[in-house]
Amino acid sequence: MNQLSDYHRDRVQAVLNACPLVPVIAIKDPDDAVPLCQALVDGGIRVLEITLRTEHGVRAIEQVRKAIPDAWVGAGTVTSIAQYRQVESAGAQFVITPGVTEAILEFGVTSEAALLPGIATVSELMMGYAFGYREFKFFPAEVAGGRPALKAFAGPFPDVTFCPTGGINRTTAKDYLALDNVKAVGGSWLTPADAIAEKDWGRVTDIARQSLTGL
């Protein structure tokens, strides 16, 4: 079994240390990708998770990487090796999965884009741990046990840190970040659908700034 290198762990840690909030971004109109991400960056966000929940995700990653080189730009909702290769080719600097398979964990060990694997259970965590992963996405956070679950994970796995995502909002983000084993929190409240539909980029910037200030 191949083991995760220090390079990959350093990359993931750099992403999680860059910003405590990670917006979950779903691009429905390709023309929105750059202005939406720029609005988030203008509000202080330094990590952009562009998901593959729509057909425009891969192209958006490519566009945003070129337009906003100072931000960490990665891919979310990656569920297969084929998608992993696609987003790597598009320039994704990191990859986040909603869950794990042994194949994805093994691919992430040698990939150019560092992997933050998604887990919901201790068994999944242990699978990733065996490959050398120590940073995980906890998803869906609220459904899978929320803060009490993360507190419980800290006992047997004191060297593991998390980025919980799923059901977290601006109010509860602070509570998650108060946990010693939480480095960052992901959420879609930073990219409200109505603001995007109205192309109200100023509102997106305000939400990002206020969310960071409230931590």
Residues forming the active site: 49, 137
Q: Are the CB atoms for 57 and 50 separated by under 8 Å? A: yes
Distance CA 201, CA 142 (A): 28
Six token digits for residue 30: 């390709």
Selection from 5, 53, 16, 34 nearest residue 182 by Cα? 16
